[in-house]
Amino acid sequence: MGIPRSLRAAALIAAAVLLGLLTVQGTYALWAANASATPGSVSAASFNVSLTGMPSGQTTNMTLAGGQAASLALTTSGTPLAALGPGSAVHSSVSATNNSDAGGQFSISITAGAPTVTNVGGGSLAQYLTVSAKNVATPAECSTTTGYAQLTSAGLTTAAVPKAGTTVVCFEVKLSSTAPSTLKGQAVSISIPLTASQLCGVPSGCA
């Protein structure tokens, strides 16, 4: 049996809204280390992580000047939205760069938390969607379907990102193959929290 055109239209609406907002939050989970210091000047260091959404190209610092968490709107790639139907998926990604100017190694990791999927205007579309993620080196790898794991409360934490280094978190949103045609006209929104944490990397150890 073919997929009703009305269901494909509903999927289009869903995908268009689904990755419309990515909420990112800076978490200052910093390790402390003790060391002797000789007399001299003291300067402050910044814990700055920049984010780039792909394929939109939108950029932002994870935490804004006033201390508020930034939001990054994503677009999708891969399966054309007009052809998205049951069993199909769309992809997007965020590149995170460690721009800290602190001394020492100061590597960080990025964690994508559990997504919040909300039906817009009622309906039941959200229960037929799966949000998955994976950590890769380049955004081009996001369109490869292998390696994705569903995002849960445990989240997905990247490998260590050194100063001036960049890591990529890919997102996949898939519509269940059992999605009924009654989803016509329904839509959802989704937000995924991102946090950045310092990894213990100073020679004297962390407390």
Task: Enumerate the domain spans of the chain.
Answer: 5-29+49-198
Burial of 188 (0-12, 13-18, 19+ CB in 10 A): buried
- pLDDT tens per residue across span 25-83: 444 444 444 445 556 555 556 778 898 988 778 888 887 777 778 888 777 765 544 44
Q: Which helix (H) or strand (E) holds 72?
A: strand 71-72
Q: What is the pLDDT of residues 160-185, one digit of tens each?
A: 999 999 999 999 988 888 888 887 76
Model confidence, pTM: 0.77
pLDDT digits (tens, 9 = 90+) for 2-32: 434 334 333 333 333 333 333 344 444 444 4
Scanning 52-158, the segments in alpha helix (DSSP H) are none
Rounded CA separation 163/74 (Å): 25
Element (H, E) at 18: helix 5-18
Q: Which residue from 205, 25, 14 is spatially nearest to 111, judged by alpha carbons? A: 25
pLDDT, position 159: 94
Task: Indicate the average pLDDT of the chain.
Answer: 75
Phi, psi for 89 (deg, rounded to 5):
-145, 160
CB 158 within 8 A of CB 93: no
- Concatenating the DSSP letter of every residue in 49-66 gives EEEEEETT--EEESB-TT
- At 129, is the secondary structure helix, strand, or coil? strand
Residue with tokens 């280094």: 165
| Element housing 195 (H / E) | strand 194-198
